[in-house]
Structure 1
Amino acid sequence: MPSSAAARAAGPLRATAPAFVLLGAVQVVLILAITMLSPALPAVQRDLGLSGAGLTLVSAAYGLSFSGLLLLGGRLADLYGRRRLLVAGVAVFGAASAASAFAPGFGTLLATRFAQGAGAALAAPSAMTLVRSLYPDAARRARALAVWGGLGGFGATAGTLFSGAVTTWTSWRWTFAVPAAVSLCVVLAAPRVLPAGPAPVRVRLDVPGAVLVTAGLSVLSHGLVEAGERAWGAPRVWVPVVAGLLLLVAFVVVELRVREPLLPLGFLMSRRRAAALGAILVGSAAMSAIFFFLSLYFQEVRSATPLLTSAAFLPFGAAQLAAGPLAAWAVRNRGARFVTAGGLVLCAGGLLLLGRLGADTPYLGGTLAGLLLLPVGIACVFSGATVAALEGVRDDRAGLAGGVVNTVMEVGPTVGLAVLVTLAATRADRLRDGGTAAAEAVSAGYGYGLTVAAAVCAGGAALVAYALRRGGPDGERDGGGGGGAGPVP
């Protein structure tokens, strides 16, 4: 390559640190947008006169479109270019964020939250795959991905802390200012700071598969969200759950038959990759359960304000921020298997401590200890599992891999909360029927849900320790046509 051409090609890679910071800001703000409305929901309900069902839809709209479109977003990044899709997705996300701040009523806010999620689904896989382009060296790439794995959890925590403060001192509408401002900065800086990534893949988009998986994940997620408000036997729960599962079955059938599938099923046949994705699913579900149950506990049982509730999570955020670099160091020196399995063990311990909730449980004690231990475990799980999930992925399927990882991270909270909220509510109802005071019954219900989550994490640690071991048959495939044959190069 002539020296001038080489300089032009290498130019975007010289500023590796600024590029990684820019991509990290994208990842943090996309996840921040999921949790930032949680402390503000009562204020949103008052200002817009929303019903309980309307409030649930507004809260869930972003996650529904985000999770449903991620696989499509990842494949589009492979087909049309990573930086191009990143800029397009962030632009849509930012414009929808700004529009949400001025929403006059329910319909507008619902539509803008859906649009936010659609933009995020385009941007998130591209951001993850551009990290691979920044670090061609395998060892440096693994370290970068380990740090990257902890950013999502930090974004979720930051969203809760940020929203509680903003809602207390100003208006919930100002919570959308940060996503809009970060989006504008990324759109302006990306062409100068980020590499374009590998050349786009010249294959046809699997439109039937894209439609089926998007509809299936969205409808299934909607049913699971409804399960948090209603009994599983209610038509508004089981009808979308069954419909979503049928659509996903149809998606699998299509992927097995088409020549160029959206998701080659062989991509998921790796023992290591499946275990890593399972760990991300469990870790994201555990973190969402903490925010959900403890936010309700502090405000409903302990009568804390939104600001005090956010302040209660400050140790969680600080521990998570400190644990991210340590987890990345541990992945580099001890390996993804040790860090992921150990992280799940720490998560189980933290959840057990938090599962001892009572109506008068002091914050200083088991609750604080759990809020310090759990984020360390989550940082380890996300860092180790992200590295393991992306091992050996071909460059032309990096966008797809990013979409799969992010999809699992988004689906985990939906599935986990649907199950844990049901278990917690059932436990609380039984205690109330037995004569237990309401506050104590609710606290015990939340504690029971967290204890079940601890048991799942402990079981997951054992499975991950077995599945991520080296050696033995794995059947790892990165997928080709017709559902995916062909070994990972």
Structure 2
Amino acid sequence: MTSRERLVLFVLLTASFTLAVDFSILNVALPVIGADVGFSLEHLQWIATSFALCAAGFTLLFGRVSDLYGRRRLFLLGMILLGLSSLAGGLATTPVVLLLARIVQGLATAMVTPAALSLLTTAFPEGPVRARVLGLNGALMAAGFTTGAILGGVLADLLSWRWAFFINVAVAVIVLVIAPGVLKESRNPSRPRLDVPGAVTVTFGLLAIVYGLTRAGETTWGDPLALGTLGVGGLLLLIFWMIEQRVKTPLVSVGILKRSTVAWGNIAGLMAFVTETSLVFLITLYLQNVLGFTPLQAGLCFAVLGAGTVVGGILGPKLINRLGPKNTVVVGLLVQAAATLPLAFLSLDRSWVVLLLVLTFVGGVANLAAIVGFMVMATSGLPDEEQGLATGLATMSQQVGITLGIPIMSALVAARLNALGSETPQNLLSGLSSAIAVNAGLCILTAVLVGLFLRTKAVGHGA
């Protein structure tokens, strides 16, 4: 790579990694934040939920906006918003200010993440180099979620939760100093009109789906509000699909969704993020609520998983060159399942932690290999003018997956606890075991479906 390409890579990967960290950095510190700022216990989850709603709900819209009006422009605007909202969050003394800061952080994430990914795919041509770049991006995105859990525990114990916001300010300043001089503008030269009806229906549909899933995880899957918003979300997405088949310049071309690589690639990516991020949640409960680890001790245990994701990001492109993206996804998910299933037999004995660390490392490697394969599949074989849309879809799969996994798994754990009647460590362990077994099963099911239905002729080994 040239010096300029290395700078491009540094700027874009730094931004993507920081935004991935933001998904989880506050989770461990939520009780402390609530006490400092004045959140009641029942409203505490909105510190995380408000961010996730906007990050997942607006990403497809902003991915398309970047195609039409400029990826560099949207990336820089998003980084400005990230810096300002993070400063406000770090200085917040009331719940309203903190929630508004998290909402704007979510919007900034929805702007920057697909823009950064499409700037990567247009800066590096299809082939081994792009696969390697996407491997690094995938490794840092997945490692960012894990790093957030580690960093959140460290900051909460040693400094202050406010530094989780102030770090973003420093990153935004560095990126905004370097980026204007190294990033080239790219957009669709024809500048078609934005599909406003499609944008409105898909954005509100995704918001409703994400809210409904989050609500179900917090209460039960029988909660009327959760079921109602899920139903509204499904209806809006159906209307969106009907609109896209009729408008002249659709937000999402029906043709791109009919591509086997795009459709099945995004399904694989969605499930890769659902399973791994929710496994982090389940292991956090095991370490803290069953074994009695402190937040800092639990966070440090995830350093091994983080190392596995980095290794997986490095190995992923090599596997793609040897096996092809499809087989890399299938093998990655099957190995992830093999590493996850033994965790369903965790016990109250702390000696299990050694095996847990080994298995999470292996699972992290496999998961990242699958994620790199998904990224290559979902963005290959498309013209530059559709890269924002393709990366918007890929980013949406990632962010919805991160948001989707935890409510599903927490609902499974809660159902088991309700059946057993009390929340003792032994009963919680039983609920965690059931959820972990389902997690492994989802990996196997996804691998089988991708292996059976993704058309291999659409994806070459050199992708």
Which interval holds the TM-score relative to the shorter structure?
A: over 0.9
- The answer to whether the 8 Å contact 2:63/2:115 transfers is yes
TM-score of the two chains, using structure 1 as the length reference? 0.90
What is residue 279 of structure 2 aligned with on the other side? 290
Matched with 1:221 is 210
Matched residues in 2 for 1:463 and 1:259: separation? 33
Deviations 1:395-442 (A, max 9, x none): 111111111000010111333333222222112222347xxx711110
The secondary structure found in structure 2 opposite 1:202 is: coil
1:359 positional shift: 2.9
Match of 2:447 in 1: 461
Task: Confirm or deny: 8 A CA contact 1:149 1:384 kept in the other structure.
Answer: no
Matched, 1:470 2:459: no
**1:215 alignment partner AA:** F
Counterpart mapping for 1:82-101 below 5 A: 82-101=71-90
- Work out which of the residue numbers 426, 433, 452 in structure 1 matches 2:438: 452
Shift of 1:92: 0.7
Match of 2:249 in 1: 260
**How many Å separate the matches in 1 of 2:134 and 2:105?**
25
Q: Quickly say closer, same or farther: Cα 1:445–1:138, change in 2 above 3 A.
A: same
Deviations 1:10-44 (A, max 9, x none): xx975111211211111111111111111111111
Give yes or no for contact 2:325–2:374 (8 Å, CA) kept in 1: yes
State the distance in 2 between where 1:146 and 1:466 align.
25
CA contact (8 A) 1:340 1:385 kept: yes
1:368 aligns with 2:357: yes
- Could you say which residue in structure 1 is the equivalent of 2:429? 443
Counterpart residue type for residue 337 of structure 1: K
Task: Report if aligned partners of 1:13, 1:134 keep a CA contact under 8 Å in 2.
Answer: no
CA distance in 1, matches of 2:167, 2:321: 33
Give the fraction of aligned pairs with identical amino acids, expressed as a percent: 32
Give the equivalent residue in structure 2 for 1:388. Answer: 377
> Are the aligned partners of 1:96 and 1:113 in contact in 2 as well (CA < 8 Å)?
yes
Partner of 2:35: 46
CA contact (8 A) 2:344 2:434 kept: yes
Asked if residue 280 in structure 1 is aligned to residue 292 in structure 2, the reply is: no
Written as runs of structure 1 = structure 2, the 5 A alignment for 1:109-258 is 109-136=98-125, 138-198=127-187, 200-258=189-247
Q: CA deviation at 1:53?
A: 3.0
Q: Is the contact between residue 51 and residue 106 of structure 2 (CA under 8 Å) also seen in structure 1?
A: yes
The reply to whether residue 18 of structure 1 matches residue 7 of structure 2 is: yes
Aligned length: 459
User: Cα offset for 1:201?
Assistant: 4.0
Matched-pair contact (CA < 8 Å) for 1:280–1:409: yes
Asked whether the equivalents of residues 101 and 176 of structure 1 are also in contact (C-alpha less than 8 Å), the reply is yes
> Distance in 1 between the 2:334 and 2:438 partners?
14
Aligned 8 A contact 1:78 1:201 in 2:
no
Q: Report the CA distance shift for 1:185/1:171 in structure 2 as closer, same or farther (over 3 A).
A: same
The 3 A distance-change label for structure 1 pair 200 and 296 is farther
Quote the Cα distance in structure 2 between the aligned partners of 1:468 and 1:256. Answer: 23
Contact in 2 for aligned 1:357/1:444 (Cα 8 Å): no
1:351 is matched with 340
Distance 1:57 1:266, change over 3 A: same
Q: 1:97 to 1:456 in 2, by over 3 A?
A: same
1:429 lines up with 2:418 in the alignment: yes
Distance change (3 Å), C-alpha of 1:90 and 1:271: same
Which residue number in structure 2 is paired with residue 5 of structure 1? none
Let me know the Cα RMSD of the aligned residues. 1.9
Code of the aligned partner of 1:244: G
Q: Distance in 2 between matches of 1:223 and 1:360?
A: 37
Distance 2:310 2:337 in 1: 20
Counterpart of 1:299 (choices 270, 288, 295) is 288
Structure 2, unmatched stretches of 5+, are none
SS of corresponding position for 1:313: helix
| Letter of the 1:443 counterpart | L
Q: CA deviation at 1:49?
A: 2.8
* Deviation, structure 1 residue 469: 4.8
Secondary structure of 1:35 counterpart: coil
Q: CA deviation at 1:364?
A: 3.5
Deviations 1:241-263 (A, max 9, x none): 11211221221122122111111
**What displacement does 1:285 show?**
0.7
Q: Distance in 2 between matches of 1:214 and 1:91?
A: 22
Instruction: State the Cα distance separating 1:181 from its structure 2 match.
Output: 1.1
Q: What is the TM-score normalised by the length of structure 2?
A: 0.95
User: Residue 412 of structure 2 aligns to a residue in which SS?
Assistant: helix
State the Cα deviation string for residues 40-72 of structure 1 (Å, max 9, x = none).
Answer: 111112212322331111111111001111011
Contact (CA 8 Å) 2:192, 2:249: kept in 1 or not? Answer: yes
